[in-house]
Amino acid sequence: MTIHLYNTLTRQKEEFTPIDPKKVRIYICGPTVWNYAHIGNGRAAVVFDLLVRVMRHAYGNNHVQYVRNITDIDDKIIDAARQSGEKIDVITEKYARIYNEDMAALGAAAPDHQPRATEYVPQMLKMIDKLIKAGHAYEAEGHVLFNVPSWPEYGKLSRRNRDDMIAGARVEVAPYKKDPADFVLWKPSTPDQPGWDSPYGRGRPGWHLECSAMNEALNGNHFDIHAGGEDLIFPHHENEIAQSTCAHGGEKYVNYWMHNGYLMVEGQKMSKSLGNVVLVHDLVGRAHGEAIRLALLSAHYRQPFDWTEDLLQQSKRTLDRYYGLLRDAGGVKAAAVGAAPSFIAALEDDLNTPKAFAELAVMAKDLSTAKTAEEKARARGIFLAAGKLIGLLQQDPETWFKGATDDESAVIEKKIVELQAARGVKDYKKADEIRDQLKQDYAVSVSVTAAGITWRKES
């Protein structure tokens, strides 16, 4: 059991060594809840859900602490509230709930802790105070800013230096900044904006500070893994490192930084202006969550990849095939065995999901070609154990195929009996009629197998 992870900090794959194997601590940057999550958010959630599964498999369910936050104070939320006329907490509550539901539909388990930024304002203020006292932050015109030149190590994660950043800056530098690279820890709120009283006047926290404060509270000063989308490398995570390290007297903040790659949609960048933003909420309404999950994991998490309708359909067909195998072997109980070592090894090698799926395909072949009951039971057990680790194939195959209401199912089953009878007397004309009818009326396709007749809902 050796897990290797690609660490953005060192830009290489490293062997994972936990600080405390009895409590591996992982923090994922969660959503800002002002809108529905898109498929890119879904990718991050699914990928790092898998990371947590792999860690739990290696260190034990109770020895991994998984924290995924909710950002519920942000200027985008304020704008959304202004536009819709809804209250801020109504908006954040609504989208936080939908986010959790949608991610659950993708098989992304709920974190152990889901802290909200607004619950940690006192901790943030305490951290600001520490940073000011340590000479790393200063107050200016109601703002508190982190002074980047006060910490020489700044820029290590994103590998950029101050001069480059200033040279490439597209945004005008605020006049109250001591240094152009300084960033906001606290900013003033107007009376109509949400705010908290503070020694610097009524205001609200800057974006990066919440994660620092919540991690300090839940994961401690120094923890194992911090993960998020690659766009967060700069400035979010860079600034977070600076704040936390400086607030903790130079103590190392995080050992492993992990970032997932971006995705595109049908060959194009996903953007509001192109109108091609794919929302997870819409997808789970019309596709199996498992198929979406499989599609999201079909490419390695650090690779950029293209989200397409074709990919989703192909993923669905793959699961149809796998659930079909499980259904065909339905009479055989799964043997109590673990997932194949090669499968585990693939996932433990920086979450190499394409490799893992290649191994899964081999296991599927073993299952479909197993001869004896004993072989079948073993193959089924291995196959299901792999599915469990990666978060797939745990449903009853009948449920997977027959996504129909009970009433509908009863009618369909009745037709199936008629079909069977017609076939029994070799009345194939009638049999085909019934089959066509089922297809037309219920989108049901019928298969005749040695074991009997099965049907599935096409979707």
Phi, psi dihedrals of residue 139, rounded to the nearest 5°: -95, 140
Tokens of 432: 């085909």
- Helices 39-59 and 341-348, packing angle to 10 deg: 120
The piece of 85-93, 111-119, 130-138, 298-306 that touches RNA (CB under 7 A) is 298-306
331 to each of 34, 283, 382, 387, how far by Cα in Å? 48, 33, 16, 19
Instruction: Kindly state whether residue 112 participates in binding RNA, applying the rule CB under 7 A.
Output: no
Instruction: Kindly state whether residue 354 participates in binding RNA, applying the rule CB under 7 A.
Output: yes
Instruction: Kindly state whether residue 54 participates in binding RNA, applying the rule CB under 7 A.
Output: no
The residue from 38, 226, 378, 380 that contacts RNA (CB under 7 A) is 38
Structural contact between residues 384 and 336, judged by C-beta atoms closer than 8 angstroms: no
The piece of 39-47, 89-97, 123-131, 410-418 that touches RNA (CB under 7 A) is 39-47
CA distance 340 to 222: 34
Angle (CA) 448 451 453, round 5°: 35
Instruction: Kindly state whether residue 114 participates in binding RNA, applying the rule CB under 7 A.
Output: no
Angle (CA) 344 350 352, round 5°: 60
87 to each of 111, 121, 188, 204, how far by Cα in Å? 27, 20, 20, 17
Closest separation between CB of residue 262 and RNA, Å?
4
Tokens of 309: 């309708």
Instruction: Kindly state whether residue 189 participates in binding RNA, applying the rule CB under 7 A.
Output: no
Instruction: Kindly state whether residue 203 participates in binding RNA, applying the rule CB under 7 A.
Output: no
| Positions 236 through 265 that interact with RNA (CB under 7 A) | 236, 239, 259-264
Phi, psi dihedrals of residue 35, rounded to the nearest 5°: -165, 175
The residue from 341, 449, 458, 459 that contacts RNA (CB under 7 A) is 449
Question: CB 275: neighbour CB atoms within 10 A?
Answer: 7
The residue from 59, 95, 138, 207 that contacts RNA (CB under 7 A) is 207
The 157-186 site mask, x for binding RNA (CB under 7 A), equals -xxx---xx-xxxxx--------xxxxx--
The piece of 15-23, 85-93, 223-231, 407-415 that touches RNA (CB under 7 A) is 223-231
Q: DSSP code of 70?
A: B
Toward RNA, which CB reaches closer, 41 or 198?
41
Closest separation between CB of residue 59 and RNA, Å?
23
The residue from 1, 11, 175, 191 that contacts RNA (CB under 7 A) is 11
The residue from 3, 9, 24, 29 that contacts RNA (CB under 7 A) is 29
Which residue's entry shows tokens 């802790």? 113
Closest separation between CB of residue 350 and RNA, Å?
7
Toward RNA, which CB reaches closer, 324 or 387?
324
* Number of residues this chain uses to bind RNA (CB under 7 A): 88
Beta bridge partners of 446: 455
The residue from 14, 129, 282, 328 that contacts RNA (CB under 7 A) is 328
Instruction: Kindly state whether residue 232 participates in binding RNA, applying the rule CB under 7 A.
Output: yes
Instruction: Kindly state whether residue 402 participates in binding RNA, applying the rule CB under 7 A.
Output: no
Report the SS3 class of residue 112.
coil
CA-based torsion, 44, 45, 47, 52: positive or negative:
positive
